């Protein structure tokens, strides 16, 4: 399961985002360090279900009338403050929790209503652009400190005649989510020597930055956009290149209203319908949320999750089936499973994702949409329905 982590300073709205995205019970408060231990839960990305191409909907519990929700892990890490990489505010502990995340959502208080330490201040009095820069810097310096802390071991190993610099670097960086492919790609970008004694502090910091950019890409979420001065959103977009305006509180309110049976809404919808009896004040609150959704095309929460997985990580959704004509598994369930794979994935990659034994016994695959056999090196597309034929049952 892909892992998406929420990072940012205290009181930026990460826990509200997490609660809305998972509907798990977590502490939410208007003060720094409401969260201490990381929260881990299941959220979903949203895509078009292939059952829309059938006469009837699939009936899967993760499909809402053709809107398919695919599980991902969501991690809520306690707030980071400047100096986190040096341990300030238990920062090292919180940064370590990000080690295995595939992508980071930097949740920024776009309203400018909290200072660098996460303490409440007058809305608009703090510059939220600073929160983009410091999260990147803290993560880069944290990774640089890990590299520096292990560099003496690299130097010792270099004295061995069997020393392989790339292999040793890969082993060291596996702990922060880097693969051999990642390390090789980063080393191709820099002019380096395989003699670790010749590496300067600047060289190690550049290595850290490039590894972080590759293994921990960041999406900026401009939270509290409903109360943010308009110029703040514009300045954040100028600084980051692209941000996602979001109201996590609005999303949470909608999901709670759905549970109460008074609102018809699916996560990621651009609007909602009031279907139950509510008070005038509740209607006024919901209409304020609707105004924000009209301006931004939704609450922004689902968009942030989708962009992080489908766009930044470049993943697609593929559906394995046993019966290529009916799109069912062995029990007759239509489109029972959905897998997130890289956009260059092949049928054999899907086979291994389903189960290692099925991958090991892979024979061939069938495109269920066109009812034709496809090659092992065929690149899959979003929404493909695939039957895997394997020696494994």
At 34 the pLDDT is 46
Cα distance between residue 66 and residue 82, in whole Å: 44
For the segment 206-249, what is each residue's pLDDT rounded down to a tens digit?
A: 999 999 999 989 999 999 999 999 999 999 999 998 999 999 99
Structure tokens, 143: 């990774």
Half-sphere exposure of 184 (CA within 13 A, CB side): 5
Confidence of residue 90 (pLDDT cuts 50, 70, 90): very low
Q: In terms of Cα–Cα distance, which of 183, 198, 192 is closest to 143? A: 183
> Global pTM?
0.90
Q: Is residue 50 classed as helix, strand or coil in its secondary structure? A: helix
Cα distance between residue 331 and residue 64, in whole Å: 21
Q: In terms of Cα–Cα distance, which of 177, 165, 271, 275 is closest to 217? A: 177
Assess contact for 116 and 238: CB atoms under 8 A.
no
Helix 280-296 to helix 248-259 angle, to the nearest 10 degrees? 130
For the segment 168-211, what is each residue's pLDDT rounded down to a tens digit?
A: 999 999 888 888 999 999 999 999 999 999 999 999 999 999 99
* CB under 8 A, 24+ apart: contacts of 349-353: 349/380, 350/318, 350/320, 350/380, 350/386, 350/388, 351/388, 351/390
Task: Report all structural domains of the chain as residue ranges with CATH numbers, in order of start.
Answer: 3-138+217-308 (3.40.50.300), 144-214 (1.10.8.470), 315-390 (3.10.20.30)
């Amino acid at each position: 399961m892909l892992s998406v982590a929420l990072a940012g300073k205290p009181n930026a709205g990460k826990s509200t985002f997490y609660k809305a995205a998972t509907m798990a019970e977590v502490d939410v408060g208007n003060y720094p360090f409401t969260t201490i231990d990381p929260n881990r839960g299941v959220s979903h990305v949203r895509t078009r279900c292939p059952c829309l191409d059938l006469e009837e909907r699939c009936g899967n519990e993760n499909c809402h009338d053709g809107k398919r929700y695919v599980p991902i892990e969501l991690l809520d890490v306690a707030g980071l403050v400047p100096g986190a990489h040096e341990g300030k505010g238990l920062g090292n502990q919180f940064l370590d929790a990000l080690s295995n995340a595939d992508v980071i959502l930097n949740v920024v208080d776009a309203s400018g209503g909290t200072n660098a330490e996460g303490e409440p201040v007058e809305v608009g009095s703090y510059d939220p652009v600073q929160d983009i820069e410091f999260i990147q810097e803290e993560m880069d310096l944290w990774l640089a400190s890990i590299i520096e802390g292990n560099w003496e071991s690299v130097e010792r190993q270099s004295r061995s005649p069997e020393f392989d610099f790339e292999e040793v670097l890969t082993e060291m960086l596996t702990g922060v989510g880097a693969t051999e492919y990642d390390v090789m790609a980063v080393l191709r970008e820099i002019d380096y020597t395989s003699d670790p004694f010749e590496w300067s502090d600047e060289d190690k910091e550049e290595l850290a930055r490039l590894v972080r950019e590759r293994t921990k890409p960041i999406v900026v979420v401009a939270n509290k956009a409903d109360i943010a001065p308009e110029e703040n959103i514009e300045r954040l977009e100028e600084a980051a290149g692209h941000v996602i305006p979001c109201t996590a509180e609005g999303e949470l309110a909608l999901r709670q209203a759905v549970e109460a049976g008074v609102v018809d809404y699916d996560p990621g919808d651009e609007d909602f319908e009031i279907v139950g009896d509510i008070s005038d004040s509740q209607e006024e609150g919901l209409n304020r949320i609707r105004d924000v959704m009209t301006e931004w095309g939704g609450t922004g929460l689902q968009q942030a999750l989708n962009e992080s997985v489908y766009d930044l990580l470049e993943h697609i959704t593929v559906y394995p089936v046993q019966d290529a004509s009916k799109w069912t598994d062995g029990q007759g369930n239509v489109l029972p499973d959905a897998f997130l794979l890289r956009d260059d994935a092949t049928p054999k990659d899907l086979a291994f994702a389903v189960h290692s034994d099925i991958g090991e016994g892979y024979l061939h695959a069938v495109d269920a949409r066109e009812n034709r056999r496809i090659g092992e090196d065929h690149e899959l597309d979003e929404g493909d329905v695939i039957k895997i034929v394997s020696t494994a049952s």
